[in-house]
Amino acid sequence: MSAVPAKYQGLRSFAFGDGPGLADELLGLVIKGAKTATCSTEDEPNTSTPGEQWIVLDGRGTPACVIETTEVTYRRFPEVDAAFAYEEGEGDRSLDYWRSAHRTYFDRQGKFREDMMLMCERFRLVEVF
């Protein structure tokens, strides 16, 4: 298990996605530098503010790195643009891929609506443990 350095003790933590496999896949993209953005439904409890740091967990719940929120905006699903989709770093990084993958993801959670509001967050990688 990775030890969390003392300077990060007390930070909130989370894992990307909705299962161990997706958590590991998305964490890998963060560590490689491909993923610098994420989104969630506006009603999720993990809302963030610019400057806030988070510990990112892998699929087994082990702390893996720290990210820092740089920007938070709210957009409806169809308002997410190609630049944000690219920064999410998933698949071929296209807007078409983003829409398909996120529709599937939010459908699994029973939350998808064409006009749903999303919290769109950009972040930077601070440290890998």
Distance CA 1, CA 60 (A): 10
Q: What average pLDDT does this structure show over 61-81?
A: 97
Q: Has residue 1 got a pLDDT over 60?
A: no
Mean pLDDT of the chain: 94
Q: What average pLDDT does this structure show over 42-66?
A: 90
Q: What is the pLDDT of residue 36?
A: 98
Q: What average pLDDT does this structure show over 109-129?
A: 96
Structural element, H or E, at residue 112:
none
Q: What is the pLDDT of residue 115?
A: 95
Q: What is the pLDDT of residue 16?
A: 95
Structure tokens at 63: 């702390």
CATH class (in words) of the domain with range 7-128: alpha beta
